[in-house]
Amino acid sequence: MTELLAVITITLLAVISPGPDFAMVTRNSLLLSRRAGVLTAVGIGLGVLVHVTYTLLGLGLLIQQSLWLFNAIKLLGAAYLVYLGLKMLRSQPVGDTPEVAVAPLSDAQALRTGFLTNALNPKTTVFMVSLFLQVVQPRTPLALQLGYGLFISVAHMTWFSLVALCFSAGAVRSRLLAARHWIDRAFGGLLVGFGVLLALSRGTR
């Protein structure tokens, strides 16, 4: 019971902390649609399962202990965030119809964006490996460990779906869509900043 409460508490605190996942869901919900935001949230939850899988297979410890492998993942994740951010920074207003200033995403693209944003985030690697090494006991049954991993994934989906519902609400969107290209640029700047900080970070393994 103590282990279960620890996993739940740590997961909830990690999920609600701001980061690239929050920025992507907020941006897609606010500037595109509720559907795009929720699908981005689902993609984030699926990305978590990648970290759960390699952690339970023992590869998470290898990634954490191998400096070159961890740095390769870190730089790949940083490059992806910078790429997304630069695309948003190029957002331009289009006359009196600002709603066409942001390119729409298909369902698959929204899902993929959320998935890659989380799957390439080494911070999630550190969180997952640390959780399973320091909180989850080695004698914990594999079925229960799988349950923990599923809970972490569902917690991400649930929280970010709530974020999507909040920021796609009509009252919120209607007040902000007139300046959507500036909002897109702001989120682009955040993602570039996240990417640069991630690439320059040291001693976070």
Digit-coded pLDDT (tens) for 38-65: 999 999 999 999 999 988 887 767 776 7
Distance CA 37, CA 164 (A): 5
Distance CA 155, CA 107 (A): 21
The residue to which tokens 């944003």 are assigned? 117
Tokens of 138: 């080695």
- Helix 122-134, helix 142-167: angle, nearest 10: 140
Tokens of 101: 């200033």
What pTM value is reported for the model?
0.78
Longest dimension (CA), the chain: 63
Instruction: List, for residues 67-79, the tens digit of each pLDDT value.
Output: 777 788 778 878 8
pLDDT of the chain, 205 residues: tens digit per residue: 688 888 889 889 889 888 889 989 988 988 888 899 999 999 999 999 999 998 888 776 777 677 777 788 778 878 888 887 887 777 665 544 444 445 677 899 999 999 999 998 888 888 888 888 788 887 888 899 899 999 999 999 999 999 999 888 776 666 666 666 667 777 778 878 877 877 777 644 4
Residue 58 is classified by DSSP as T
CB count within 10 Å of CB 119 equals 21
Q: How many helices (H) and strands (E) does the chain have?
A: 10, 0
Contacts of 204 (CB under 8 A, 6+ apart): 122, 123, 126
